[in-house]
Amino acid sequence: MVARIYNFSPGPATLPYEVLEQSAKDMVNFQETGMGVIELSHRSKEFTAVTEQAERLLRELLEIPGNYKVLFLQGGASSQFYMIPMNFLGKGRKATYLNTGTWAKKAIKEATLFGKIDVAFSNEKENFNRVPSAGEYTVSNESEFLYFVSNNTIYGTQFHNLPKTEKMLFSDMSSDILSRRLDISRFGLIFAGAQKNLGPAGVTVVIIREDLLDRVPSDIPTMLSYKTHADKKSMFNTPPCFAIYIVGEVLKWLKNMGGIDAIARINDQKANLLYEAIDSGNYYRGHAEASSRSKMNVSFNLPSAELEQQFITEAAQKGMSGLKGHRSIGGCRASIYNAFPLEGVTKLVEFMHEFERENPA
């Protein structure tokens, strides 16, 4: 049997081993039904129980208030870039966006097709090396909402505090949902592609305040209306069944780990260990400013591109995969989501010190 490696990929990302083991069994015979979980009818009582459990656990772990709907949608998080403005802008309505990286830029591009968009902050000239502080931008009084990306996978930056505004918040939390405690009541809508902290690629979770569904226009395509999916409990069409099942299993695992507060402590430990290694000398340089450093994605550079490639190659040979940085900034990146084990970060740090000793700049 091939040994498990440490998968630092930004997504699809590592999953808890217990979840992989259980899903392998359920793939063949789900709860003694004589069918694999991917063969179940999405309208069967067995699969209805799967989706209900996933929603119940998500509500429990995130403490989602009762006046919010939980949706399991297809199309990836990128579909939300246009679904949000299609549902809530148009007819001269305005929204404020914070441009802190690639995914915010993509969302802004789509939003401008439907409404008036005020980009209140952008640090693209600094190659997105930080997120804004509270006093660096203002939110227009005419804005329906303030949109921001809570964690930037490419640049390794993260909002450690929610933006301060009286306006409701809309947020892409694809890469740090469930990693820390969150006040859901501050938000009108949260969405997250599953393939980083929730499960496999194929399902996007949307948490939406129920009263907002009354604002959805009736003249948009049926499949692109949040109201359609809320009214049908995510069953308007065949949902991404297997991905939803895995999300439920990941949520079970997280609850057994002790929930949000317990995983947040582990995430702090992993991130602190890695940033301490980066800060221990001048050999490694983090991309993000210290105040904006992500606890999920750590982007860093070595003294030269040649050394970076050698570092990535040798790390892979030692069972550490997925450390190549995004093509837009190069370098290296370690993604250390909820399911990534502490011992994997420890091994990486040991390798970093060893590599520096053996390959002086």
State residue 180's pLDDT score.
97
- ∠ at Cα 115 (114, 116), nearest 5°? 150
Domain ends where: 222, 257, 292?
257
Is the CB of residue 114 less than 8 Å from the CB of residue 89? Answer: yes
Average pLDDT over residues 40-46: 95
**Closest among 188, 152, 200 to 173, alpha carbons compared:** 152
Whole-model pTM? 0.97
State residue 339's pLDDT score.
98
State residue 135's pLDDT score.
87
Question: For residues 250 and 2, what is the distance between their CA atoms, to the nearest angstrom?
Answer: 23
Residues 325 and 344 in one domain: yes
Is the CB of residue 334 less than 8 Å from the CB of residue 348? Answer: yes
Residues 122 and 192 in one domain: yes
Question: For residues 195 and 182, what is the distance between their CA atoms, to the nearest angstrom?
Answer: 20
Average pLDDT over residues 139-150: 96
Q: Is the pLDDT of residue 2 over 80?
A: no
Tens of pLDDT, residue by residue over 262-299, are: 999 999 999 999 999 999 999 999 999 999 999 999 99
Q: b vs e for 116-142, b when ≥16 Cβ sit within 10 Å of the residue's Cβ? A: bbebbbbbeeeebbbbbeeeebebeee
- Catalytic, 172? Answer yes
Structure tokens at 170: 């809309």
Give φ, ψ of 299 to 5 degrees: -95, 130
Domain ends where: 230, 257, 284?
257
Tens of pLDDT, residue by residue over 74-127, are: 999 999 999 999 999 988 899 999 999 999 999 999 999 999 999 999 999 999
Give the 3-state secondary structure of residue 96.
Answer: strand
Tens of pLDDT, residue by residue over 297-324, are: 999 999 999 999 999 999 999 999 999 9
- Catalytic, 227? Answer no
The confidence band for 361, taking pLDDT boundaries of 50, 70 and 90, is confident
Farthest CA pair distance, the chain: 64
Is the CB of residue 318 less than 8 Å from the CB of residue 354? Answer: no
Domain count, the chain: 2
Q: Is the pLDDT of residue 1 over 80?
A: no
Residues 244 and 109 in one domain: yes
Measured between its terminal Cα atoms, the distance across the chain in Å is 39
Residues 154 and 275 in one domain: no
Q: How many CB atoms within 10 Å of residue 328?
A: 11
Q: Is the pLDDT of residue 327 over 80?
A: yes
Average pLDDT over residues 247-257: 98
Question: For residues 114 and 303, what is the distance between their CA atoms, to the nearest angstrom?
Answer: 45
Query: Is position 282 within any domain?
Result: yes
Structure tokens at 275: 């940033």
Question: For residues 311 and 352, what is the distance between their CA atoms, to the nearest angstrom?
Answer: 8
Q: Is the pLDDT of residue 337 over 90?
A: yes
State residue 298's pLDDT score.
98
Average pLDDT over residues 238-245: 97
Give the 3-state secondary structure of residue 291.
Answer: helix
State residue 92's pLDDT score.
84
Of the candidates 103, 227, 270, 324, the residue annotated as catalytic is: 103
Query: Is position 11 within any domain?
Result: no
Residues 211 and 96 in one domain: yes
Question: For residues 241 and 175, what is the distance between their CA atoms, to the nearest angstrom?
Answer: 21
Residues 320 and 221 in one domain: no
State residue 3's pLDDT score.
86
Query: Is position 8 within any domain?
Result: no
Task: Please give the C-alpha separations between residue 177 and each of 90, 158, 295, in angstroms, as whole numbers.
Answer: 29, 12, 12
State residue 75's pLDDT score.
96
- Catalytic, 214? Answer no
Q: Which residue segment(s) compose the domain that 321 sits in?
A: 258-358
Of the candidates 196, 227, 270, 295, the residue annotated as catalytic is: 196
